[in-house]
Amino acid sequence: MDLTKEAGKAGAPRKYSVENVVAILPTTGLRSKDWLERAMRDLGCSDTAFYQKKKEAMEKGFVKPDGDPAKQNTPFLPTEDGKNAVQLSDFRSKVAESSMRQNGNDKRFAKR
C-alpha cells in the first residue's frame, strides 16, 4: 500500500483547538501560568499543547498581552476576533451535532 496517496495528515488527530484554549480565557484575562493551569484542568491538555495553541492564538490575533508578553505577570486578554472565533466554533459544533442526530450517526442519540 502506498501511504503517500492517503488523504489527510499523518499523526494522531488534534484534541484541542485554538478556539478551545481561547474559550477558557476570561474577558478579564489571565497570566500565562494561570491560563495554562486552567487549560490543564479544564481541557486536560499538556503544557506543550497549550503553548502551541497560545502561540497560534496570538498569531491569529485571538488574544493579546496587556503589557510586555515577556514578563510573567502580564495578563493575556481575548480580542473581539478571539471571541468571534469561539462563537463560530460553538456554532459549528452545534450544527455538526444536529446533523449527526438527523442522520442517525451519533451513538449518543441512537434509538435502542
pLDDT tens per residue across span 56-110: 999 999 999 999 988 989 999 999 998 888 888 776 666 666 666 666 655 555 5
By CB atoms closer than 10 A (0-12, 13-18, 19+), residue 64 is: middle
What pLDDT band is residue 3 in, cutting at 50, 70 and 90? very low
Supply 16's cell numbers: 484541542
pLDDT tens per residue across span 11-63: 555 677 899 999 999 999 999 999 999 999 999 999 999 999 999 999 999 99
Instruction: Report the candidate in 39, 32, 38 with the shortest Cα–Cα distance to residue 70.
Output: 32
By CB atoms closer than 10 A (0-12, 13-18, 19+), residue 33 is: exposed
Helix (H) or strand (E) holding 100: helix 80-103
